[in-house]
Amino acid sequence: MSKLEQVLQLEPYHELRFKGPFTDVVTSELVLKNPLDKKVCFKVKTTAPRRYCVRPNGGIIDPNSTVTVAVMLQPFEYDPNEKNKHKFMVQTMIVPEGHIENLENLWKNASGEKIMDSKLKCVFDMPAQEQLQNNLNLSKEENLTTTTPQLLTQDAPVPTRTMETSRDKPVDDQRKMKDTLALFQNENQKLKDENERLKKLVQKDSFSKKAPSDGGQLSEQQTALPTGIHVVAGIILIFVGITIAKLFL
């Protein structure tokens, strides 16, 4: 058996629209008009009772009278990607003649064929400016998420640079040691060259003079000069050893 056609006139008839922003309670009005000469009782149901407050959610409409129902949407965080599936249903029934003591008992005892219903879907309207602000906030959050690893990456090389400095220190010490050793080797070579030059001078003078006494004196000078050179070279080598030891300590 088909259901009875709705006797009340609903405005709006198909959907309830709620205009954002939804940071506060948003109210949408549903007007119920009874065009009959009889009383009609009604009650309003929803698929999301925790999200809405309905006043009044039921009652009796006198003949040729109108009742305005306030449907109040509770504050929530709006997500444009979330599909809204909230729906409302208005059930009505013609009130039998006579005195009605309890409306709840009337609904409980009524047969299904006497009950009429109308369904309305909920629509959320977000203003264009508010929608733009939401998109901007989402963009900022994405940029913040992307930037945070970059900041961590920039900070990471700090300890690495310190480790590289510690690793390069022995290399610098070895380079300094090589430079110092090369300097002393150069000085030692100069002393050797000077020693050879003096030897040649002494030998040249010994051949040019014939006196035995002079030859003996020159022989003593020739012997003394190499000894002095060896002393200086020994001091230099000792200094080089001390310097190398300091570099490795």
Please state, in angstroms and rounded to a whole number, the distance separating the CA atoms of residues 189 and 202: 20
Same domain as 194, residue 107: no
Query: CB-side exposure of 201: number of CA atoms within 13 Å?
Result: 9
Same domain as 178, residue 118: no
In a domain, 76, yes or no: yes
Mean local confidence (pLDDT), 10-37: 96
Beta strand 66-73 pairing with 52-55:
antiparallel
Top pLDDT among 2 and 93 is at 93
Closest CA to 72 of 22, 117, 38: 22
In a domain, 136, yes or no: no
Range(s) of the domain holding residue 105: 9-131
Q: What average pLDDT does the structure give for the chain?
A: 79
In a domain, 137, yes or no: no
Same domain as 122, residue 49: yes
Indicate the pLDDT class of residue 124, thresholds 50, 70 and 90: very high
Phi, psi of 159 (to 5 degrees): -65, -30
pLDDT at 106 over 80: yes
Same domain as 23, residue 98: yes
In a domain, 25, yes or no: yes
Structure confidence at residue 130 (pLDDT): 55
Q: What is the pLDDT of residues 145-188, one digit of tens each?
A: 655 555 444 555 555 555 555 555 666 767 777 777 777 778 77
Closest CA to 229 of 182, 194, 184, 181: 194
Same domain as 100, residue 190: no
pLDDT at 115 over 60: yes
Structure confidence at residue 68 (pLDDT): 98
25-35: burial string, b at 16+ Cβ within 10 Å, e else: ebebebebebe
Tokens 């909230």 belong to which residue? 86
Please state, in angstroms and rounded to a whole number, the distance separating the CA atoms of residues 248 and 241: 11
Structure confidence at residue 241 (pLDDT): 73
Rounding to the nearest 10 degrees, give the CA dihedral for residues 76, 80, 86, 87. Answer: 130
Q: Which of 111, 131, 151 is the last residue of a domain?
A: 131
Same domain as 241, residue 169: yes
Structure confidence at residue 152 (pLDDT): 47
Same domain as 188, residue 116: no
Same domain as 98, residue 177: no
Please state, in angstroms and rounded to a whole number, the distance separating the CA atoms of residues 89 and 230: 117
Beta strand 116-125 pairing with 15-19:
parallel
In a domain, 28, yes or no: yes
Q: How far is CA 12 from CA 17, 61, 142, 180, in A?
A: 9, 17, 40, 99
Closest CA to 74 of 28, 115, 31: 28
pLDDT at 54 over 90: yes
Structure confidence at residue 176 (pLDDT): 76
Structure confidence at residue 48 (pLDDT): 96
Same domain as 189, residue 110: no
Indicate the pLDDT class of residue 53, thresholds 50, 70 and 90: very high
Q: Which of 83, 114, 131 is the last residue of a domain?
A: 131
Q: What is the pLDDT of residues 9-23, one digit of tens each?
A: 999 999 999 999 999
Structure confidence at residue 101 (pLDDT): 83
Same domain as 107, residue 34: yes
Please state, in angstroms and rounded to a whole number, the distance separating the CA atoms of residues 207 and 205: 5
Domain count for the chain, please give it. Answer: 2
Tokens representing 186 are: 């150069």
Top pLDDT among 31 and 78 is at 31
Report helix, strand or coil for 176.
helix
Same domain as 203, residue 101: no
Q: Domain with 22 in it: what CATH number?
A: 2.60.40.10
In a domain, 47, yes or no: yes
Report helix, strand or coil for 209.
coil
Structure confidence at residue 146 (pLDDT): 56
pLDDT at 205 over 70: no
> 28-37, 79-88, 122-131, 138-147: which range is least confident on average?
138-147
Mean local confidence (pLDDT), 26-45: 97
Please, which residues bridge with residue 88 across strands? 46, 120
In a domain, 138, yes or no: no
Structure confidence at residue 153 (pLDDT): 47
Q: Domain with 231 in it: what CATH number?
A: 1.10.287
Same domain as 41, residue 104: yes
Please state, in angstroms and rounded to a whole number, the distance separating the CA atoms of residues 241 and 249: 13
